Amino acid sequence: MDRKRKVYAPFSQTSEAGVTQTPVEGYIDVNQTIYPTVSTGVVNEKGQWSGVKSDDNEFIGITKHVGVSNGGETLSPDTGDLNFIDMSGFNDMFIAIKPTRAGNCAIKAVMGPDTNRFANLSPVNSGSILSGNVTTETTTGLGDLFHDGAESLTADVWNIFYIHRDLAHQKNMQFSITNNAGGISTIEFAFMRMVGAL
């Protein structure tokens, strides 16, 4: 947006002459241009581009496990193209589970496949429950970051759960879902990451 404004010229000839009040014609035209800017990231201290993260707009990593027996365990996501969750730059997330049989299931966050690196480390302890100390209430030792031993699910609908903060910035993660509904169930899974705030 372009606009012109008048500003007082403090070093005009009239100022040098000792005129204490604003003289006639003591103002000059100044062109002022305002440009909108959008920050999409920065070049970090290593000289690498680091973009600004934004929330996932939709659920992704949709995985379908057909005919999971009672007591059977699944690992999600596992779509072939996407077999782990990278939470780098994300603090919160939603997970969604759709079973064909109502009843309980156990849900826990575990280390992703050993075919994926965690930053520069490989192999990782695949399938192990993620442990850490991320809440102010935990002052000593490590605890499970996310482990729900018995969550009651409704059949044939998406049961959606919000997970705040505890899984922030995990680089190689999956969810282990154990069918404890008392019979065979087909289980679908999806997730959506949120930038949120710590």
Q: Each residue of 131-174: pLDDT tens digit?
A: 988 666 656 678 899 999 999 999 999 999 999 989 999 999 99
Helix (H, G, I), strand (E, B), or coil: what is residue 151? strand
Confidence of residue 22 (pLDDT cuts 50, 70, 90): low
Are 190 and 128 in contact, with CB atoms under 8 Å apart? no
Q: What is the pTM of this model?
A: 0.77
- Residue 105's nearest CA partner among 75, 67, 73, 60 is 73
Instruction: Say yes or no to pLDDT of 6 above 60.
Output: yes
Instruction: Say yes or no to pLDDT of 190 above 70.
Output: yes
In the chain, where does the domain assigned CATH 2.60.120 lie? 53-194
Q: How far is CA 192 from the centre of its chain?
A: 8
Lowest mean pLDDT among 4-8, 48-52, 105-109, 141-145: 4-8
Tokens of 9: 């010229």
d(CA 198, CA 196): 7
d(CA 116, CA 183): 33
Tokens of 81: 């193209």
d(CA 192, CA 92): 9
Tokens of 77: 């996501």
- What pLDDT does 90 receive? 94
Helix (H, G, I), strand (E, B), or coil: what is residue 15? helix
Instruction: Say yes or no to pLDDT of 103 above 70.
Output: yes
Instruction: Say yes or no to pLDDT of 16 above 60.
Output: no
> Which class is domain 53-194?
mainly beta
- Residue 132's nearest CA partner among 140, 124, 122 is 140
Instruction: Say yes or no to pLDDT of 110 above 90.
Output: yes
What single letter denotes the amino acid at residue 143? G
Are 96 and 103 in contact, with CB atoms under 8 Å apart? no
Instruction: Say yes or no to pLDDT of 44 above 80.
Output: yes
